[in-house]
Amino acid sequence: MQKVAIVTDGSCDLPKELIEKYNIFVVPFQVILDKKVYKMYGDYGTISKDEFYNRLEKNKDLPTTSLPPPKFFVDTYRAAADLSKTIVGIILSGELSATLHTARMALPYVEDLDVTLIDSKVAASTLGTLVIEAAKMAKDGKSKEEIIKRIEALIPKARLAGIMDNVEATYRSGRISWGKKFLAQTFQIKPVVGFENGLIISYGSVRGGRNEVMKRMMHMATLVPKYAETDTIFIWHVRCPEDAQALMEIMEDYNPTKKDIIIQEAGPVIGTHVGLYALAYMYIGHFDKDWLIKMKE
């Protein structure tokens, strides 16, 4: 038993081995592809990433995601109660999804448990960094109050810093207009994206091909380990493992404190909404948009 159990949702883009290592309880998201519903618990579930992306590239119909129903939250709270009846849930940004609202809808069904929910203001492996930090504290015997105070202090520093190299999926999901898609594809304009106030925003854009994307991401690779405030850094990508590996090799040379650098491919929940070949750093700490836009330290 622990003093606190940690719960999150299936948008967290965490690998199974970390979820098991840190006793994290995950409410599954649902991905709908070819009229079949799959449950996802991070980057794994009832469909593999390889199968999902292979079918996505061949399928004309865009997959969709579905919120976990309240019962999924109730079931996960009950499972977490086997570890501790005091539960902290760190959930996908309420500005991006109604998942947090659904998590709250489930609370009247578990009134015998002490459940506190936190709006992470982020998503994907950035959410995962917060969840890992909380889970480490829980394993170390920290109290609910200590964990909540720490996570709320870290949320404003939880970063997504990356470049979208393909806007097709974003256009198909209705998040950009045809005009912006046309301009992006015609003039090789690639948005630099991040989280702000719970939303995904554009810090600006870069112009050029894949070599330009990698040049800027390689520059930032020399800076992230220096400015990350917690031990976990994700190099997050969509179907470009070789590029992610190249970035990792650079980061390891600039990692004197031996932070845990993890290459993480987007799972189907997030992969449904972002384009192929996206690259990003997801971590907690300082970020300057000019690291990617102007490449000045």
Dist. CA 21–CA 262, nearest whole Å: 15
Residues 85, 127, 200, 184, CA torsion sign: negative
Q: For residues 4-21, b (16+ Cβ closer than 10 Å) or e, as one string?
A: bbbbbbbbbbbbeebbee
Q: What is the pLDDT of residues 140-168, one digit of tens each?
A: 999 999 999 999 999 999 999 998 875 45
- pLDDT for 117 equals 98
Q: Where are the domains of the chain?
A: 5-155, 157-293
pLDDT > 50? residue 179: no
| The pLDDT of residue 177 | 41
Model confidence, pTM: 0.93
C-alpha dist (Å) from residue 193 to 13, 159, 202, 274: 17, 10, 4, 11
Name the residue type at position 10.
G
Residue 242 has a CB neighbour count (10 Å cut-off) of 8
Question: What pLDDT does 181 receive?
Answer: 37
Architecture of the CATH domain 5-155: 3-Layer(aba) Sandwich (3.40)
Query: What local confidence, expressed as pLDDT, does residue 185 receive?
Result: 44
Q: Which tens digit of pLDDT belongs to each residue from 193-221?
A: 899 999 988 898 888 888 999 999 999 99
Nearest-angstrom CA–CA distance, 106 and 75 = 9
157-293 has CATH 3.40.50.720 classification: no
Q: Is the pLDDT of residue 186 over 50?
A: no
> Based on C-alpha coordinates, what's the Rg of the chain?
19
